[in-house]
A = this chain, B = another copy of it.
Amino acid sequence: MTTTQVNDPTRNGVDTATLFATLDAVKQAPDAANFQFRAHNQWLSGTHNRSTITDYYGVGTERSHQRTFVFDADHPAVLAGQDHGPTPAEFVLHALAACLTAGLANIAAARRVTLTQVRSTVTGDIDLNGILGLNPEVRNGYQQLTVRFTIKGDAPADKLRELVAQSQAHSAVYDTITNRVPVTIEVDTP
């Protein structure tokens, strides 16, 4: 750990000393980085359902978030739902923005760039002829996602763009969306 980190332990709200200590710990014990995240969903009515997110596995043991997070999803009335929550597909946009932004803050802190504003809008174009089963040539999922960042900080524009590129290059959600992830579905009917 360098003197700089000790003298300037946080930047952008990132505890860089802890961040570097975490990296060092995982270097020594790579298996600590094997995580399993989980969401538990319960159907309520129609397209309305609710997930709770609390337990996960990581650094060799079962863990829990400091509190249980609860999220509703639904379809809007125009899609025959009741709008009790965003559509499931909208949560994917939030996940992408959140992942890129969290990574950006970490990477900026590690490189001693102080950020003063990070805003983004993620748009996802989707042709619902796919999921409605009306056109087999139309895919079910998003056809294109666009993330537009507005970033201010104490570094030149080129440096800020490079930080975003680094976040993109190490983003779990970006990779999950832009590359294939195998999904297994099991059904129990007690």
**A interface list, Cβ under 8 A from B:** 12-15, 18-19, 22-23, 26-27, 30, 33-49, 51, 53, 56, 58-59, 63, 65-66, 69, 71, 73-81, 83, 85-106, 115, 117-135, 139-152, 157, 160-161, 164, 168-190
Q: With a CB–CB cut-off of 8 A, which chain B residues contact A177?
A: 141, 176-177, 181, 183
> Are the CB atoms of A93 and B39 closer together than 8 Å?
yes
The contact of A189 among B96, B161, B180, by CB within 8 Å, is B161
**Closest chain B residue to A74, Cβ basis:** B102
What are 13 of the A-B contact pairs (CB < 8 Å)? Answer: A22-B79, A37-B90, A48-B102, A49-B98, A51-B93, A56-B90, A66-B83, A71-B94, A89-B173, A92-B173, A141-B174, A141-B176, A149-B186
Query: With A88-B99, A130-B170 as given contacts, are A43 and B105 in contact (CB-CB < 8 Å)?
Result: yes
Q: With a CB–CB cut-off of 8 A, which chain B residues contact A151?
A: 187-189
Q: How far is the CB of A166 from chain B (nearest CB, A)?
A: 9
Query: With A38-B122, A147-B186 as given contacts, are A85 and B102 in contact (CB-CB < 8 Å)?
Result: no
Please, how many angstroms separate the alpha-carbon atoms of A80 and B176 in the complex?
22
**Closest chain B residue to A44, Cβ basis:** B13
Q: How far is the CB of A178 from chain B (nearest CB, A)?
A: 5
> Are the CB atoms of B161 and A187 closer together than 8 Å?
yes
Please, how many angstroms separate the alpha-carbon atoms of A90 and B131 in the complex?
23
> Are the CB atoms of A170 and B131 closer together than 8 Å?
yes
